[in-house]
Structures are given as C-alpha cells and as structure tokens.
Chain A
Amino acid sequence: MLAPFNIPCDVNNIRGQLRHHWLENQILNKTPEDVLFIFQNEKKWNALETEFEYRIAQAIKLSDDMIEGFSPRQLVEKITLLSSLSNDTKILLKDKIHKIYFENSNIQSISTRFKDAVKFLSDDIKALKKEWGETTSGENNAIKEKYQAVLDSATLLYNLIKLLPKGVALP
C-alpha cells in the first residue's frame, strides 16, 4: 500500500504503539531465558500482568478498524481544498477512491489474518499467565515453553503489522 507523507490517522498511532512499544520492545526483545530470569528473580512481570490485556484489546480494535482507518476517503472531508465540492460529488469521490483502495490494497485479507494472529497471541499470553501463577520454581521449562509460544505468535502478528501503511493509504 502506498502511503507517502505519513498522512496522520488514528489507526496509524495504534499501529505504531503495538508494533514498537508492545511487540518489539516488550515481547520480541526477550528470549525465553530472559523471561525465566524475570520469573525467578523478580517474580512479577508488570507488563504481562497489567498491560498485555489492554494491548490485545487494542489489537482487536485495530483489526476491526483498519480497513476504514487507513482509507483515503477520510481525506475528502479533511482537506480544505475539497470542502467546496458539492455533497453529491464528495460522496461519489469518497466511494470511488475507497473502492479502488479496497480492491488494490489487500487490506481485507490483512485484517482477517491480523484478527487470527491476535487470537493466537492472546491465547498464548493467557497460557503463560496461567503458568506464571501456578508453576513452582522447579518447573522452569514450562515458563520457557509458554514464552516460546508467545514469541512465535507475536512474530506472526509482527509480520502482519509490518504490512500496514504508515499513514493514510493512497490507491
């Protein structure tokens, strides 16, 4: 998808937060050994306990909103130069450019796969939290295994989030 100028849109903020703050800097930068180290030495992992659930909800919302959120049709209302067009023309223009964007961008497929990947990651995070709450220090491998599953599903989601445009998409 073509997105020159990083034209701002709300979903792009969310995309950036999920990609950089969450996936890159809270999950993918840790190995199973790192997480085991946290488990053994600090007992608590604040982000896992308090933040990941919110990020999952944010990611689900992004998968719901991304088709419209990156659509160039929002520009027809935002750009003042187009404000003098009649309402009928605006509607026609919006419909036409959204249709072309939708057909050419593969955004529907990304949205569907994104939703699935979020579900996988959510399940794996839940399993890790459960293990964290139940396991004893003698069962360290279980933490590492659960975290490896989190890493695998986070990588899947990360590869999809990299496909998203960094601003309003132009067809």
Chain B
Amino acid sequence: MRCVVIIDSKIIDTKGLSAYLSESVKDISWRVATTISEVDALKANMLFIHINNKGASNYITQMCLNYDEIYITSAAPSINQLNRVEGCKKVKLFDVPISDENGWKTLPWGIAISEWKDGELFPIEILRRKHFTFPEALVSAYLILVAEQAELIVSDDELNKPSLWENAGRQFCEEVEKRKLTIPNMELIPKTKWKHPKGNNVSKCLIAVRSLFQNIEGAQPK
C-alpha cells in the first residue's frame, strides 16, 4: 500500500518545512518531496508533501491516481476544498492530535509526525529539541544584562561566569555572521573571550543583542 501525508506549510509558523523534514527523516525510510514529479520519483510508501492551498486540488487529483490512501492533516488544504475534488474518496483525515492521550507525539506546532507500521500510524520520536534549540548562552547573557540594567543587585561572582559569557559571545557572532547583519555596537561582543560587561557597556551590549533578536524575529514568518 502506498500512502501519502500532506502537510500544509502555513500551520507550522516557520519556513523551510521541507528542509526540516528532510533533515529529520533522512535516517529513516522517509523522503520529502515538494512537487508531484518528485513524489513520483521517490516511489516511497509514505510521503510528506509540502503543499499550499492553491495547488491542493491538482496535487490531490494526481495523487489519487498513484496512491492507495492519502492522509491530510486537518489543517492542511481545507476539507471543504478537498471534498469537492472528484475522485478523492481515498483522502482521509489525519487529524491533528491535541494531547498525548492517544499516544501521539505532539510537536510544537501541534502536529504529530508519525510512521506507518502494520497498518496503523504510530508516533515516532522526532528530535524536537534538536530542531528547536536556541543559543542558550546568548539568551542567558541577554536576560542577565536586561536584569542588570534594571538594577539587579547580585554579587559579581555570581554572574561573572566566563564559560557563559564566552559562549554567548561566540553564539552572538555566529548568528550575526549567519545572517550577514551589521549590528550596532557589535564590536563590543567578540567571538572569543567576551567578558561580562560593566558600566555603560551593559546598555551598549544590550542594544547589540536586542538588535540581533529583532532581526531574527523580523525574519520569522508571521
């Protein structure tokens, strides 16, 4: 039996679904395709299709010819739209699980990614943390600076952790380089040996990190 699962990209609040799925599933027998020809070329038993609503009807019609069953997430191309596509009796709702009560693994965007096994869909443990890691040292340093600017009264020894500040500096520079950004005061945060800033440098470093965060936030799809 050949099956296909379609996920609508808009539900995940992030770009690069295909890239993410490719990365996540490359070690198991899943593949990702973004066009109908890629779907056919893969000859896989189960596929995730990155699709948008506009092209849904055409995709589905063609897929019905090639697949025994087609599963869509309920958030993917609207059910109404699919119901009107002739010949789509094979389309079944692959509902978004809302809790772990059914044994589903719910990912941050609310979809369970599961595998086909013995006639049933089973959850697999996608490395959620791996995908959703964030530069912890940089975020920690930022929070400390924010609190210090608002007069957090703590002894220097407590917050002056070289490992934290050095890692934060490295992470800051990596993020800036990755995005090819020019950030105000970025010269104050070197890639190596960044130290816990003092005095006026606290607010200057805060401006730099906040500017980076604003750039990252602005780049995220709304």
Contact = CB atoms under 8 A, between A and B. Distances in A.
Interface stretch (A23-31, A61-69, A108-116, A119-127): A23-31
Contacts of A3: 217
Nearest to B214: A2
A81 B136 CA distance: 8
Nearest to B76: A25
A89 B212 CA distance: 27
B124 interface: no
B10 interface: yes
A170 B142 contact: yes
Contact of A13 (B110, B134, B136, B150): B110
Interface residues of A, number: 42
B146 interface: yes
Interface in A10-26: 12-13, 16-17, 20-21, 24-26
A89 B148 CA distance: 12
Tell me if A's interface is mostly helix, strand, loop or mixed: helix
Given A16-B109, A30-B80, A89 B154 contact: yes
Contacts of A145: none
B158 to A, nearest CB: 5
Contact of A7 (B139, B150, B154): B139
B25 interface: no
Contact of A20 (B10, B108, B159, B210): B10
A146 interface: no
Contacts of A25: 11, 74-75, 78
A7 B213 CA distance: 12
Interface string B110-136: 100000000000000000100010111
A4 B146 CA distance: 16
Interface stretch (B30-38, B61-69, B161-169, B192-200): B161-169
A2 B217 contact: yes
Given A6-B13, A13-B108, A166-B13, A79 B139 contact: yes
B216 A4 contact: yes
B61 to A, nearest CB: 20
Residue from the set A5, A86, A171 with the largest chain B CB neighbour count within 10 Å: A5
B176 interface: no
Contact of B13 (A16, A26, A171): A16
A46 B212 CA distance: 46
A84 B157 CA distance: 12
B22 to A, nearest CB: 19
Contact of A79 (B78, B140, B150, B210): B140
A89 B159 contact: yes
Nearest to B95: A21
Contact of B147 (A12, A93, A166): A93
A96 B147 contact: yes
8 contacts: A5-B135, A5-B216, A7-B132, A8-B128, A29-B80, A82-B164, A92-B154, A170-B143
Interface of B: 10-11, 13-14, 74-75, 78, 80, 96, 98, 106, 108-110, 128, 132, 134-137, 139-140, 142-144, 146-147, 150, 152-154, 158-159, 161, 163-164, 167, 210, 212-214, 216-217, 220, 222
Interface of A: 2-8, 12-13, 16-17, 20-21, 24-26, 29-30, 34, 54, 58, 72, 75-76, 79-82, 84-86, 89, 92-93, 96-97, 99-100, 162, 166, 170-171
Closest 3 CB pairs of A and B: A5-B134, A4-B216, A96-B147
Given A76-B143, A92-B147, A92-B152, 16 more contacts: A5-B134, A5-B216, A13-B108, A13-B109, A20-B75, A21-B11, A81-B137, A81-B140, A85-B159, A86-B158, A89-B159, A93-B143, A93-B144, A96-B146, A96-B147, A170-B143
